[in-house]
Structure 1
Amino acid sequence: MPPFQILQIDASARPGLSGTDPRGSHTRRLTRRFVERWRAARLADAVTYRDIGQRPPSPVTGAWIAAAFTPPERRDAAAQAALAESDMLVQELLRADLVVIGAPMYNFGLPAQLKAWVDNVVRVGVTFGFDRSRPGEPYWPMLPPGKRLVILSSRGDYGYDAGGRLEAVNLVERGLTVPMAYLGLTETHAIAIEYDEFGGERLEASIAAAEAEIDRLVDGLALEITDGADRASAA
């Protein structure tokens, strides 16, 4: 059986870790905690790391669109080159059993570099299907079933979660869950740090709560996956 695959993505423009480096990233701190605790529980699992905050994917261009909507057998060398980076990002997503994304809130939504990643992996005929002659819904998801998505975010203000004062303007989680569900990745967990612009005790309490929630999530998911693998081996 191939090893369980984790895809870890950091999208923060800040290179360091909060609590360790001056003006470090909260989301990088959270993704590192998640993956380190996971590997402590399941050392044999494989981790692919992509830092799109420091090395952003190329944005979609006219040449990219033309190549993506050209049947693979008709793509010339220029079209293949236009899709080469996208092909690599798509393969990482296809291999992953668990996708862990550090997604800070920038102006209520995703960082541009993370939106570029989304645009590169939403690929007709690869991660979603389309057939205008198909009865009913002409679109369908193409990602293999069973994948999970974990979104680890940070926000300057507070009250962005369900029922909060700013729920309506939180476009981060929806900016990921909507396109990923469109591709077939529907099981999602989201944890966030708030109060970054306030600092002080409220920020520290929010960090501590987020880290404790990550620990509980990792422990629960790791146990679930280990138990599932054990049952499959015994079958």
Structure 2
Amino acid sequence: MTTILHIDSSILGGYSVSRALSADIVARQQALHPGAQVVRRDLVADAAMHLSDAHLAVFQGGPVANAALAQDLALGASYLDDLFAADIIVIGAPMYNFSIPTQLKGWIDRVSVAGRTFKYGTNGPEGLVKGKKVFIASARGGVYSDGSPMAGLDHQESYLLAALAFIGLTEVTIIRAEGLALGEESKITAITKAKSQIEALTS
């Protein structure tokens, strides 16, 4: 059975374009893979703590200081379980201040674990998470794609591609809606184009 991991990180709730597009991607994948199981992670509704000195102490063999930290460590461990169990990963990723939401960065911090999702060898780092497809629902107010004068400020898609590749996830498709803050016509055009790309997915 195919397992789809559906991750959202936008703080806009029902007004979020990335959430709407990620839901459409999941629906399309379900149509392409009948009977697929969907594991849902809303990183805003159920966010892990940002890493702290208390986390690092535990990672280095120290004691778990309190119940809240124990609960958070369990949540981080479940992120890893989700990742390894998934065949398809769908990530809703809006651009905030030229990068990704801190909630999504927190998820990346929890799944980028030496010895689990990557390792260092004689040829440098090697990603250990193999054979999975990733779809990114990217939403941004301006235009930052290749050729745009603002392209150099894209630390959203570029960062995600680098972070995912580092742990071995290289089969990544980006469904992008940009120019969302440049007027209603630009917004409608961008969303329509993204939805058409989703409908055209064949795998």
Q: Does TM, scored on the shorter chain, surpass 0.5? A: yes
In the alignment, which residue of structure 2 is the partner of 1:142? 128
1:113-152 matches, within 5 Å, as: 113-130=103-120, 134-137=121-124, 139-143=125-129, 145-152=130-137
Q: Does 1:43 align with 2:43?
A: no
CA shift at 1:140, angstroms? Answer: 2.4
CA shift at 1:174, angstroms? Answer: 1.8
Q: Note if contact 1:9-1:52 (Cα within 8 Å) is conserved in structure 2.
A: yes
1:15-52 per-residue CA deviation (whole Å, 9 max, x = no partner) reads: 11xxxxxxx11011101111112223322111101111
Larger Rg computed on CA atoms = 1
Q: Does 1:55 align with 2:55?
A: no
Structure 1 gap ranges (5+): 17-23, 222-235
Separation in 2, partners of 1:43, 1:78: 45
SS in 2 for 1:151: strand
1:181-192 matches, within 5 Å, as: 181-192=165-176
The 1:96/1:150 distance shift into structure 2, 3 A limit, reads: same
Q: Note if contact 2:57-2:63 (Cα within 8 Å) is conserved in structure 1.
A: no
| Matched letter for residue 47 of structure 1 | V
| Matched letter for residue 122 of structure 2 | P
In the alignment, which residue of structure 2 is the partner of 1:154? 139
Separation in 1, partners of 2:80, 2:151: 31
Residues matched between the structures, number: 200
Separation in 1, partners of 2:123, 2:142: 42
The 1:135/1:27 distance shift into structure 2, 3 A limit, reads: closer
CA shift at 1:8, angstroms? Answer: 0.5
TM-score normalized by the length of structure 1 = 0.79
SS in 1 for 2:13: coil
The 1:203/1:135 distance shift into structure 2, 3 A limit, reads: closer
Separation in 1, partners of 2:8, 2:123: 38
TM-score normalized by the length of structure 2 = 0.90
Aligned CA-pair RMSD = 1.9
Task: Please identify which structure carries the higher strand content.
Answer: 2
Structure 2 gap ranges (5+): none
